[in-house]
């Protein structure tokens, strides 16, 4: 077996040498890592000494390090550069990992030791952080079925294995549908498309070895095509292909997978004594219960729907002027919204895009991190998993802080969307371990020697994911269990969404929004128009998001309706969903909630965090300086470096003094009626 997967990484900056890794090594590495971890946990359970934080919790923190290491490598590769061999391994390994975790978390002797440490946590001279870790371990075991009868433990373990299998299959089906769909277009099909879209489609055609221009389901191609193509028939074809991913019948159909997943999640919650999966999942989040989630979403839904309905009437008028008497459809919205923006705000996306170069936006994110947190970034060469992937050493005052890896270009082997992950977390209890953060995006790769140009929304996505990366890189806690982004789901989006605000700072735009040909900064008049128009289509974007969040919530509250498509349609009908707007994620392609457990009953969390991020940035505007040193230090100490060392609410109140209300988000999105 290749030692690279399990041994300490004896390489520059402790980053794995990907060229030394062969896919055939993963299965053996996983099996060996699980075997070693089981041996380590057995030693803990058989320890005859009274349970202490040191001989129980700290040993558990060490117990599965090898498994954590190989898992981080493998699942990063599966998401960013999949292939049939890796998919096959994932299908086999995912349920094995679920079974292993259940076995550990339902071990009676281990549970007794964790319970004893928890019971005496306030009498054992533990640090505040150790007390917090003890409480979270106790909660983890409880919520994983440690107190169940042996019969129920067996069923619970089977459920978790089945859910892992279903989530893996859902994800692979979606990637297959996205990667396999491609429409070859010729010159006559390009009417209305700006040069940057045509160039992207030309490059996609080269990548896929097809003639002419390739219309794919990569979001960085699909969305601008819907925005600019004057060919309504092609817009409809593209939109329907995108929205029907995972529901085309055959081997990649996800409808039955979603149905079975929801049924098993309900059973899982019931075994643990909860009425619904939503009750179970939200109990330890900031929201606490489904009612608070629904109250937040509905408080924003009605203003958003009003705005969307007004916008729909305006778009229908433009459509009539175009000579089209048909009703506005979902594949028309982006096209006519762009026309409306041009007429109402004198703003053309093609006028903006030349100023947002990928390399300059990366520089801009580094600049903001430097001014806020004194971080410095130096490009370095590493042995990484794909030639397009870049790396930087992150330091502060000459001291190494982290490694940052950027994987920005779309490819058919990469799942869609954008995300942040890590090859190593941060900890201090066994010596200082520096984190390795990875940002993954899906921007269209330009032709050789051409600049990669982003939309303003693309640039915001880059800043968003870099905010997550900062949460990883700035982590400063002792124990891995609470480091980096190990926080409640409805808090984890705060550092990312908050960082987006610095993209709009005039100083940042003036320095980095430079025309790719002339090098000139974006004219102040254009900056003004851009910022004025940023909420132009908020009715649409808010409606498509909240409808998805409410469907997700209802899925996990329901225990009677067994057909997810019928339930989805019922929710949308009850909401009186605007006809020309589709859900951001329809059920068969809703990977946030069906590819794994992360955002299940938690898609609302983006909005929960947005309530905080809109209020948090006001801390800087109130002092009149987006880079105010004192405020930035407080932000660093309370939010970005604290991990899960305190409850999310305590961390936020420590930074801001109080929790904000929903009015902040209505104002930020331009939905307030005042």
CATH number of the domain within which 599 lies: 1.10.1370.10
pLDDT the model gives residue 418: 96
- The pLDDT assigned to 348 comes to 86
Would you say 556 and 518 are in contact if contact means Cβ atoms under 8 Å apart?
no
Terminal Cα distance for the chain, rounded: 66
Task: Specify the 3-state DSSP secondary structure of 405.
Answer: strand
Cα 574-577-580 angle, rounded to 5 deg: 155
Q: Is residue 265 part of a domain?
A: no
pLDDT at 12: 86
Confirm whether 175 is domain-assigned. no
- pLDDT tier, 673 (very low <50, low <70, confident <90, very high otherwise): low
- The string of pLDDT tens digits covering residues 179-238 is 899 999 999 999 999 998 999 999 999 988 999 999 999 888 999 999 999 999 999 999
Q: What DSSP string runs through 76-128?
A: HHHHHS--HHHHHHHHHHHHHHHHHHHHHHT-HHHHHHHHHHHHTTTTTT--H
For residue 159, the model assigns a pLDDT of 97
Burial class (CB in 10 A: 0-12, 13-18, 19+), 177: buried
The mean pLDDT value of the chain amounts to: 94
Concatenating the DSSP letter of every residue in 523-557 gives PHHHHHHHHHTTTTTHHHHHHHHHHHHHHHHHHHH
User: Of 219 and 554, which is predicted with more confidence?
Assistant: 554
Residue 661 lies in a domain: yes
Q: What is residue 448's predicted lDDT score, i.e. its pLDDT?
A: 80
Residues 185 and 50 in one domain: no
What is the count of structural domains for the chain?
Answer: 3
Structural contact between residues 257 and 594, judged by C-beta atoms closer than 8 angstroms: yes
Q: Closest by alpha carbon to 79, among 178, 6, 159?
A: 178
Q: Are strands 376-380 and 390-396 parallel, antiparallel or unpaired?
A: antiparallel
pLDDT of residue 220: 87
Residues 641-655, mean pLDDT to the nearest whole number? 97
The dihedral built from the CA positions of residue 373, 379, 380 and 381, taken in this order, carries a sign that is: positive
Does residue 253 form part of some domain?
no
Nearest to 483 by CA among 408, 432, 441: 432
Domain match, 193 and 136 both: no
Q: Which of 160, 64, 69 is nearest to 106 (CA)?
A: 160
629's tokens: 């040193």
pLDDT at 2: 60
- Residue 138 reports pLDDT greater than 60: yes
351 occurs within a structural domain: no
Q: What is the CATH number of the domain that holds 84?
A: 1.20.1050.40
**Do the bridges between strand 376-380 and strand 182-185 make them parallel or antiparallel, or are there none, so unpaired?**
unpaired
Residue with tokens 């331009």: 670
* Residue 384, token pair as written in the block: 């990484």
pLDDT at 489: 93
Q: Is the pLDDT of residue 666 over 90?
A: no
Q: How much is the pLDDT for 176? A: 93
On the question of pLDDT at 429 being above 80, the answer is yes
- State whether 135 and 36 are in the same domain: yes
Checking if the pLDDT of 559 tops 80, the result is no
Instruction: Report residue 639 as tokens.
Output: 């939010």
pLDDT at 1 over 60: no
Using the predicted structure, report yes or no on whether residue 657 has a pLDDT greater than 70.
yes
Task: Characterise 670 by phi-psi region: left (phi > 0), alpha (psi -120 to 50), beta (else).
Answer: left
Q: How confident is the model at residue 31 (pLDDT cuts 50, 70, 90)?
A: very high
pLDDT of residue 535: 84
Burial 608-619 (b: 16+ CB within 10 A, else e): bbbbbbbbbbbb
Residue 391 vs residues 13, 67, 81, 359: alpha-carbon distances, Å: 11, 24, 17, 13
**Greatest distance between any 2 Cα atoms in the chain:** 83
How many Cα neighbours within 13 Å face the side chain of 64?
18
Last residue of a domain, one of 245, 260, 291: 245
Report whether pLDDT(674) > 60. no
d(CA 249, CA 253): 5
Pairwise CA distance, residues 171 & 38, whole Å:
29
Q: Give φ, ψ of 438 to 5 degrees.
A: -130, 130
Across the range 136-147, mean pLDDT stands at: 97
Let me know if residue 531 belongs to a domain.
no
pLDDT (0 to 100) of residue 670: 85
The percentage of the chain sitting over the pLDDT mark of 70, rounded to a whole number, equals 99
* Residue 10 and residue 134 in one domain: yes
Whether 186 and 143 share a structural domain: no
CA–CA distance, 179 with 456 (Å, rounded to integer): 25
Q: Which of 226, 245, 264 is the last residue of a domain?
A: 245
Rounded CA separation 319/338 (Å)? 12
- Packing angle, helices 605-621 and 290-321, rounded to 10: 80
136 found inside a domain: yes
Domain-located, residue 576:
yes
Q: Cα separation of 499 and 503, whole Å?
A: 8
Instruction: Supply angle C-alpha 21, 411, 251, rounded to 5.
Output: 90
For 471-498, the pLDDT digits (tens) are 999 999 999 999 999 999 999 999 999 9
Rounded Cα gap, residues 198 and 193, in angstroms: 7
Q: pLDDT digit string (tens) for 255-313? A: 999 999 999 999 999 999 999 999 999 999 999 999 999 999 999 999 999 999 999 99
Does residue 663 register a pLDDT over 90?
Answer: no
Residues 128 and 221 in one domain: no
Cα dist from 412 to 85, 149, 154, whole Å: 15, 46, 39
Strands 390-396, 399-409: pairing is antiparallel
pLDDT exceeds cutoff 70 at 10? yes
Exposure letters 475-513 (e unless 16+ CB within 10 A, then b): bebbbbbbbbbbbbbbbbbbbbbbbbbbbbbeebbeebb
Give me the helices (H) in 354-448, please.
Answer: 358-373
The closest of 464, 462, 329 to 390, measured between CA atoms, is: 462
- The average pLDDT across 71-96 equals 96
Which domain does 69 fall in, by range?
3-105+107-147
Whether the per-residue pLDDT at 58 is higher than 60: the answer is yes
The answer on 12 and 141 residing in a single domain is yes
**Does residue 90 sit in the same domain as residue 224?**
no
Query: Do 76 and 209 have their domain in common?
Result: no
């Amino acid at each position: 077996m290749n030692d690279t997967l399990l041994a300490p990484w004896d390489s520059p900056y402790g980053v794995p040498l990907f060229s030394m890794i062969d896919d055939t090594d993963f299965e053996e590495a996983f099996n060996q890592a699980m075997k070693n971890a089981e041996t380590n946990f057995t030693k803990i359970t058989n320890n005859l000494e009274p349970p202490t934080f040191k001989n129980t919790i700290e040993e558990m923190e060490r117990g599965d390090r090898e498994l954590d290491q190989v898992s981080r490598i493998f699942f990063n590769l599966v998401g960013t550069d999949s292939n049939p061999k890796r998919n096959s391994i994932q299908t086999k390994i995912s349920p094995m990992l679920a079974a292993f975790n259940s076995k550990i978390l339902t071990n009676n002797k281990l549970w007794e030791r964790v319970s004893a440490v928890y019971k005496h946590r306030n009498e054992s001279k533990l640090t505040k952080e150790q007390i917090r870790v003890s409480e979270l371990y106790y909660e983890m075991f409880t919520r994983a079925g440690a107190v169940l009868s042996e019969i129920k433990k067996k069923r619970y373990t089977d459920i978790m294995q089945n859910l892992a299998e279903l989530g893996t299959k859902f994800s692979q089906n979606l990637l297959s549908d996205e990667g396999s769909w491609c429409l070859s277009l010729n010159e006559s099909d390009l009417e209305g498309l700006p040069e940057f879209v045509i160039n992207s489609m030309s490059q996609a055609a080269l990548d896929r070895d097809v003639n002419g221009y390739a219309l794919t389901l990569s979001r960085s191609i699909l969305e601008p095509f819907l925005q600019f193509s004057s060919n309504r028939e092609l817009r409809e074809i593209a939109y329907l292909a995108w929205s029907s991913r995972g529901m085309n019948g055959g081997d990649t159909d996800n409808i039955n997978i979603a149905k079975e997943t929801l049924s098993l999640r309900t059973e899982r919650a019931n075994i643990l004594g909860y009425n619904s999966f939503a009750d179970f999942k939200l109990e330890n989040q900031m929201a606490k219960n489904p009612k608070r989630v629904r109250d937040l979403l509905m408080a924003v839904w009605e203003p958003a729907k009003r705005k969307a309905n007004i916008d729909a009437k305006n778009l229908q008028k433009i459509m009539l002027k175009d000579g089209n008497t048909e009703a506005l459809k979902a594949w028309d919205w982006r096209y006519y919204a762009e026309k409306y923006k041009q007429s109402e705000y004198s703003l053309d996306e093609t006028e903006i895009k030349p100023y947002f170069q990928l390399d300059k936006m990366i520089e801009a994110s580094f600049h903001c991190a430097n001014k806020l947190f004194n971080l410095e970034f130096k490009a370095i060469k590493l042995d990484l998993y794909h030639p397009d992937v870049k790396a930087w050493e992150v330091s502060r005052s000459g001291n190494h802080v982290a490694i940052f890896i950027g994987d920005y270009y779309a490819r058919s082997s990469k799942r869609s969307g954008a995300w942040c992950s890590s090859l190593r977390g941060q900890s201090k209890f066994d010596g200082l371990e520096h984190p390795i953060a990875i940002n993954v995006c899906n921007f269209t790769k330009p032709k050789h020697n051409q600049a990669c140009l982003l939309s303003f929304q693309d640039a915001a996505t880059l800043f968003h994911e870099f905010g997550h990366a900062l949460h990883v890189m700035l982590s400063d806690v002792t124990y891995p269990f609470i480091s980096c982004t190990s926080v409640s789901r409805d808090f984890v989006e705060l550092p990312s969404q908050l960082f987006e605000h610095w993209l709009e700072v005039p100083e940042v735009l003036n320095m980095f929004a430079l025309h790719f040909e002339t090098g000139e900064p974006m004219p102040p008049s254009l900056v003004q128009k851009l910022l004025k128009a940023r909420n132009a289509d908020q009715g649409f974007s808010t409606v498509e998001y909240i409808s998805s969040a409410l469907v997700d919530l209802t899925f996990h509250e329901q225990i009677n309706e067994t057909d997810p498509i019928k339930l989805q349609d019922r929710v949308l009908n009850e909401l009186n969903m605007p006809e020309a707007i589709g859900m951001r994620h329809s059920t068969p392609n809703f990977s946030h909630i069906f590819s794994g457990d992360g955002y299940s009953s938690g898609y609302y969390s983006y909005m929960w965090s947005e309530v905080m991020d809109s209020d948090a940035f006001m801390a800087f505007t109130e002092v009149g300086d987006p880079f105010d040193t004192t405020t930035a230090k407080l932000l660093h100490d309370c939010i970005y470096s604290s991990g899960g060392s305190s409850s999310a609410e305590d961390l936020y109140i420590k930074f801001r003094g109080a929790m904000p209300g929903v009015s902040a988000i209505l104002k930020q999105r331009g939905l307030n009626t005042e």
